[in-house]
Amino acid sequence: MLRTIFTRAMSSKSALVILAPGAEEMEFVISADVLRRAGIQVTVAGLENSEVVKCSREVIIKPDASLEDVKNNDFDVIVLPGGLGGAKAFASSKIVGELLKKQESANKIIAAICAAPIAFDSHDIGLGKKITSYPAFKDQLSTKFKYIENESVVKDGNFITSRGPGTAFDFALKIAEELNGADKAKEVAKAMLLA
């Protein structure tokens, strides 16, 4: 019995969702929630520390740990929620840059929604990939990436991007599909009355 539980825990996929002040709370919560429903082990890491984070609409969220505490762990996906304040913090963070480069080198999934893809630009990852973002960042991102406007979620290799709060379910379900398969993603979507 113990061996079975241990094997199950060891085979589970993992996600790191980074939370910074000014993050868009819908994108954060929907991503973390959907991934957990899909059986993915989600670690919520505060960019600055493990204290409560005030999001863009003043919702307060308590991370599981600080990013510093988990930076040496391996994750199957790193998720960057949007929100202008959070996205700017990701873009200027040395530790986020190091983690994203490590993830890209390992050919593991990097997912960003809304304004968060500006971190790809500032840390020079995913260059030349097809991506999308909140429309206001099209001009900034079009110089280094193949910018896609007419899709709510864009996947190119190990990069997954999405447009904003209204596309957060599609974004999270796409990550779940990549990690645990299309059947699991459909099961989760159906249970949430999205399918």
Domains of the chain in start order, with CATH, are 13-186 (3.40.50.880)
Annotation marks residue 114 as catalytic? yes
Residue given tokens 């929100």 in the structure block:
83
Ramachandran class of 17: left when φ > 0, alpha when ψ lies in -120 to 50, beta otherwise = beta
Q: Which of 114, 88, 115 is nearest to 166 (CA)?
A: 114
* Residues with Cβ within 8 Å of residue 167, at least 6 apart in sequence: 113, 152, 153
Helices (H), the chain: 2-11, 25-37, 67-70, 84-92, 94-105, 118-123, 138-142, 168-180, 182-191
SS3 141: helix
pLDDT of res. 35: 98
pLDDT of res. 6: 40
CA 90 vs CA 9, 95, 116: distances in Å: 30, 9, 7
- Catalytic residue, from 114, 115, 176, 189: name it: 114
pLDDT of res. 195: 77
In this prediction, the residues of the chain whose per-residue pLDDT falls under 70 are 1-11
pLDDT of res. 124: 98
pLDDT of res. 131: 98
pLDDT of res. 8: 43
pLDDT of res. 145: 98
Alpha-carbon gap, residue 144 to 146, rounded angstroms: 7
